[in-house]
A and B are shown apart, each in its own frame.
Chain A
Amino acid sequence: MPAPQASSGGVIHNIGYRRYDEQRLGRPQIVRALTWHSLRSAFGIGRGAKAKILPVLLFILICLPAAVNAVALATNPSGGPIVSYDLYLPQLRIVTMLAFVAFEAPNLVSSDLRTHSLPLYFARPISKTDYALAKLMAFVLACLAMVEIPLILLYIGNASQVHGPSAVWAQTRQLGPGLLYGAAWAVLLASIGLLLASTTGKRVFAICAVGIPLFFSWILANVLMHIGGQVFNPIASGQPPALESLAGLLSPFTLLGGVLRWLQGPPKPGVPIRQALQQTIIGHFGPLYGAVFVLLLAAAVAGLIARYRRVSVA
């Protein structure tokens, strides 16, 4: 007869208890460990094969223009770059980042809410604010990777096709503002995305909670901008109508476009106002765009921290 034990999995092995007397890390290092863990999980690392499909696809998608640009330059060196550092490809970036934030933000925050694992964290040295900030840092870094890595690829493609140090330097000088603008994308979208995702523990609801407001506000801003441009039209005073100029404040994506327009300064004479498709029209409301950006970012971060302050530890 076989031994009855060992099959149940309930055997307790007596190996003696080993104490841990070595170094214990402090709160900053624990926060860093949580940040790193969450950053990995934003790209599906440590969450199984299925979780990696979407982030990897989105990453490839957002890198495509950089690759196409490099191929175009290689085949037709005289044509110049077809993708710019600041705007990149606006529509593609908006759609990709919308999907990334909507699908990955819930993985960082709402799964801990759903499985009630927050008490496991808060019974350890870190505080609720530490937890919220670690998640925010992780998601900002994830969004940075999504926005900036394509820009760096774009830069590598451009720099390898130009000749002479001065031409490379010119490319580098254009890359800088592009990276800064990309960072503005990352911090704003990550904060808003996490705040919206942390409202519910159910994954599907969380995806909707992030995706629907971001998507429809973008549509609404574009529709109003279009109406403003078409109906109230003529550029009599040299300025676009107020409705067209203010509609961009309604959506984070058009808001970011407006901030870029404002920082780039007034359009040079001779260049039409609506020179590029889907650029935000800001008229003389540039500073307002800057202020709304700062306020929205601060509100989202404060909201996220406040949300975790009052989270129940039952």
Chain B
Amino acid sequence: MKYLILMQVDPAVLERLTEEQQKMIEEGHAAFTARTKETGEFIATQALADPSQSKVVRARNGVPEVTDGPFAEAKEFLGGFYLLDVEDEARVVEQAKLIPHARIDGLAVEIRPVMFSDLGDL
């Protein structure tokens, strides 16, 4: 079963990290990617730029209109994700606990089941 693990980010928390926490995040992501690749559960991961870099395209009277900035303003935002294919929900929860964002107060990961995918001809 495929799950998307969304990494929720609070910039104020990231600013206050200690060197050790920063190192833990960097090494933790590399280790998590390596581990899930090793088990054959990894599909993809992406880190996203700040929401202030977003553009929103939405219809006004049926015509697409482009505006700068995120869809919804919020203190926390989606910083990136992992897409995994795992045995069951228990397994994805177990794996998610290993992600550095799940180990730092003020950050969090959100797990959502995937209903449909087309990943191109990987």
Say whether A and B bind each other.
no
